[in-house]
Structure 1
């Protein structure tokens, strides 16, 4: 006698064996009501038990909280955040450059003041004690060190000192008289670079200078304090109108020869800020300033003494000759040019913008490498999770098929050994087993179809999403009562068709229903499912509400993040697939409008509707 057909023992995967066993009865499948109590199945793709302690170490959870993807930021907000970061960096760089420029201006003002003090110290305008104090306390102060080069009015380098210049002597100031041409050339290179940045300071504190007049018969030469010929005249000298450097050197050479022969010069003061005039009449001469004779000499004129009194004879000679002959004009220069560079601190701070940009680029590089490593780690976790998920989903129908095959072998034996009357009953049992096996094969095909569409563009067809909801609710009917009894309450209002992929959307509902059941584990709960149409936005709205434990507020923004799970064995892919299917494949949106501790959670799905079918 054959025994009644019963559900075969399952050989499920390790996870399924631990947690649940799929059981079926031999009773025919009842029609699917809109509201019924169903037991909880093993839903492929689910991996969250809302309300459980998150898996993983505290340190790992802490690092995940710091990740930008864990903050629940929308893509648009992330774009604005990125642009805001770029603008912030640019503002920082501009402000940094502004501060550096202000500091640079102040440093150059200070260097200009020091250059003026330098020129004043090397002039004859101050007592030697004061000049020494300026050099010791200001010019040679290491905290205020800056390169300086002194040139005369002819551009000759006379003094130099400071960082970046050739070695200095014991007085920290070098003199060109003992310098080699190579040293002077090196000084000029630094000086030209300084002049490109800072304009030289012209220093002239004395308004008078002592000049020397050397005379030999009708030839005479006027030399400035440095022995430079500023005026000359006579039959044996170059033409006075040609003031080229060669003629000046020839005139100065003649004066030095007369000096060697014992000729004594005539000394007198001239103004350095005005032009002087020289007239000659044979062996006599006179020098005037603005028409007033200040010096004279010659056999027919009285001896010259610089007493401030004008010789009438010299003045008359000057007026007479100047009326008929153009006087020789000359000017004695005693100004110095102080060429100075930036202080050492200014040179260092000028590199700050480049250092800042380099540090920012380094941080960007480190962030990019870190982000790339995080993405790779997440991808590895996702692939491992996909493998586990595939094995888990295939385990249930495969174990069921194994049980059905074992049961069928017994029924086939009954067909061979049973009597004629009992063979008919055994044949009916075999037919029912075959039907169950066909359902499991269909389930395997559905799983394969779902995974094959991940990463590709699925085909969307206009359909009524309520049919998918009813099919998914029907799938949960008759499953094992391991998680308690749960009631589905459907409020499916009339809605237009939406472009959807029924297989993938069914996967969405399975994950959401299983999440709700996990939140209501070991208690009787109610899952409410409602549909409505938003005419203003032309969207179909689907609400899935449970009365479970709810989701912690700190996890609300992370539940859709790939790799995030609160289950000890979870891989964090269930709701990640849900969001991708809804938003990327169907152009919709899913979010959690409400979740309260102890009061339950509500998921809301919005899908674009085909309004012409309303």
Structure 2
């Protein structure tokens, strides 16, 4: 019992650290977004200064036109902008003064005057929506510098999302690889444990069969006791067969599913509390076939029913219903009137080692889910549960082709 608790605690600690890691990743993601947002704002502010200097330079050049003033510095300042798209508007009309607008600078493109003017008006309208224009005065005339963000700013705006997306993709791939590796390791543990269990049970079972025959040879031995002992030995043989099948690729056969479930319930009904009423209902024909391994599937039904009996504390109603579904599928519902499953435990019921009982290792439902989903290519899940009212587990299987 202590070992099982240690195992569960370690698993819960790992799960807790997983949430801490996710929280740290969210903080890092928010930090990346904030950093690049601030960086983009700083670059935008710098480009606004470029636009202001450009407006001042244009105003100075026009005002000093014809004078002996040295324009070299102003010209260098105007040409220093190599990234920010700009255009001058004088008295409401776009001028030919522009920078970093490839469409207007493409000399191979043949513009008509009306096409060129329409393009400029549309460009000015778009830039005006992006940034308010910068005003400058030349004599009695007013001019405006319209500008838009450079390619660098636009890339900075989307780069953090690309970066986070890249991290998420690589993180997802790493998690998938880790999960696959862990599942493969778990599979090896399951297979090894099952094979070893079957191997260890084989020898004492053979010895018990021999001892039963020895006891039967004694005339004073009660034959009825021998019959009961033989039943128990055969039961052990069935358990050994189950472990042997789960430790290898099980042989699937077309079986009458109604017959298997009904016989399993009859076997259990004689071995559980008489205060538990068992009800079996089938809404499908008795000759419906399903590809199953009989020994393993009986084990699943037994585990679900035993868990139901434990949930009811040995008193209540256990109902098993087989009904047809669409697309050649059937559903097997195992319903109890027990204490139900809380929302906090709902995600843990199939986890190895999880159990609300004081006894047991919490592997029954884990084995059942593994048998149904890995070997029978079906589904096993909690269909519905209510506290103090009961729980329904559902198995979904494909009907075999005739």
TM-score range (shorter-chain normalised) is: 0.5 to 0.7
Question: Structure 1 residues 450, 380: closer, same or farther in 2, change over 3 A?
Answer: closer
- Secondary structure, in 3 states, of the residue corresponding to 1:56? helix
The alignment yields a C-alpha RMSD, in angstroms, of 5.4
Task: Check conservation: 2:198, 2:241, Cα contact below 8 A.
Answer: no
- Secondary structure, in 3 states, of the residue corresponding to 1:559? coil
Question: Structure 1 residues 525, 553: closer, same or farther in 2, change over 3 A?
Answer: same
Query: Unaligned stretches of 5+ in structure 2?
Result: 23-28, 90-146
The aligned counterpart of 1:527 is 318
Question: Structure 1 residues 374, 486: closer, same or farther in 2, change over 3 A?
Answer: farther
> Structure 2 CA distance, aligned partners of 1:344 and 1:494?
69
CA shift, 1:116, in A, is: 3.1
CA shift, 1:509, in A, is: 0.7
Which of 509, 513, 529 is the aligned partner of 2:301?
Answer: 509
Task: Check conservation: 1:539, 1:606, Cα contact below 8 A.
Answer: yes
CA shift, 1:349, in A, is: 7.2
1:601 aligns with 2:394: no
Question: Structure 1 residues 194, 585: closer, same or farther in 2, change over 3 A?
Answer: same
CA shift, 1:469, in A, is: 1.4
Which of 181, 200, 207 is the aligned partner of 1:376?
Answer: 181
> Structure 1 CA distance, aligned partners of 2:359 and 2:179?
21
> Structure 2 CA distance, aligned partners of 1:436 and 1:556?
35
- Secondary structure, in 3 states, of the residue corresponding to 1:490? strand
User: Structure 2 length normalisation: TM-score?
Assistant: 0.57
Which of 40, 44, 52 is the aligned partner of 1:113?
Answer: 52
CA shift, 1:468, in A, is: 0.8
Question: Structure 1 residues 489, 569: closer, same or farther in 2, change over 3 A?
Answer: closer
CA shift, 1:545, in A, is: 1.8
1:56 aligns with 2:9: yes
Which of 356, 359, 365 is the aligned partner of 2:170?
Answer: 365
CA shift, 1:474, in A, is: 4.5
1:498 aligns with 2:294: no
- Secondary structure, in 3 states, of the residue corresponding to 1:506? helix
> Structure 2 CA distance, aligned partners of 1:348 and 1:540?
58
Q: Give matches, 1:401-480, under 5 Å.
A: 411=215, 423-426=218-221, 432=227, 437=233, 440-453=236-249, 459-461=252-254, 463-476=255-268
1:559 aligns with 2:349: yes
Task: Check conservation: 1:112, 1:201, Cα contact below 8 A.
Answer: no
> Structure 1 CA distance, aligned partners of 2:295 and 2:148?
75
CA shift, 1:585, in A, is: 5.1
Task: Check conservation: 1:526, 1:546, Cα contact below 8 A.
Answer: yes
After superposition, give the CA deviation of every residue in 1:34-89 in whole Å (9 maximum; x if it has no partner): xxxxxxxxxxxxx9xxxx9x942654454678999xxxxxxxxxxxxxxxxxxxx9
- Secondary structure, in 3 states, of the residue corresponding to 2:177? helix
User: Structure 1 length normalisation: TM-score?
Assistant: 0.40
Question: Structure 1 residues 199, 527: closer, same or farther in 2, change over 3 A?
Answer: closer
- Secondary structure, in 3 states, of the residue corresponding to 2:51? helix
> Structure 1 CA distance, aligned partners of 2:20 and 2:204?
42
> Structure 1 CA distance, aligned partners of 2:323 and 2:154?
66
> Structure 2 CA distance, aligned partners of 1:376 and 1:572?
23
CA shift, 1:577, in A, is: 4.4
Which of 558, 564, 575 is the aligned partner of 2:365?
Answer: 575
> Structure 1 CA distance, aligned partners of 2:265 and 2:339?
21
Q: Give matches, 1:19-30, under 5 Å.
A: none
Task: Check conservation: 2:197, 2:243, Cα contact below 8 A.
Answer: no
Structure 1 or 2, whichever has the larger Rg, is 1
Question: Structure 1 residues 60, 514: closer, same or farther in 2, change over 3 A?
Answer: farther
> Structure 2 CA distance, aligned partners of 1:398 and 1:543?
38
Task: Check conservation: 1:491, 1:530, Cα contact below 8 A.
Answer: yes
